[in-house]
Amino acid sequence: MPQNGSLKIINPAISPKVGTGSGTDILQLFLTNFISLALGAAGIIAFFMLLWGGVSYIMAGGEKEATQNASKRITAALIGLVLVFSIFAIIFLVETIFGVSITQFKIPIIQ
CB atoms within 10 A of CB 11: 14
Structure confidence at residue 79 as a pLDDT band (50, 70, 90): very high
Question: What local confidence, expressed as pLDDT, does residue 1 receive?
Answer: 47
To the question of pTM greater than 0.85 for the whole model, the response is: no
What confidence category does residue 11 fall into, taking pLDDT thresholds of 50, 70 and 90?
low
- Is residue 87 within 8 Å of 19, Cβ to Cβ? no
Residue 26 has pLDDT above 60, yes or no: yes
E strands, the chain, are none
Averaged confidence pLDDT in the chain = 79
pLDDT in tens, 36-77: 888 889 989 999 999 999 999 999 988 999 999 999 999 999
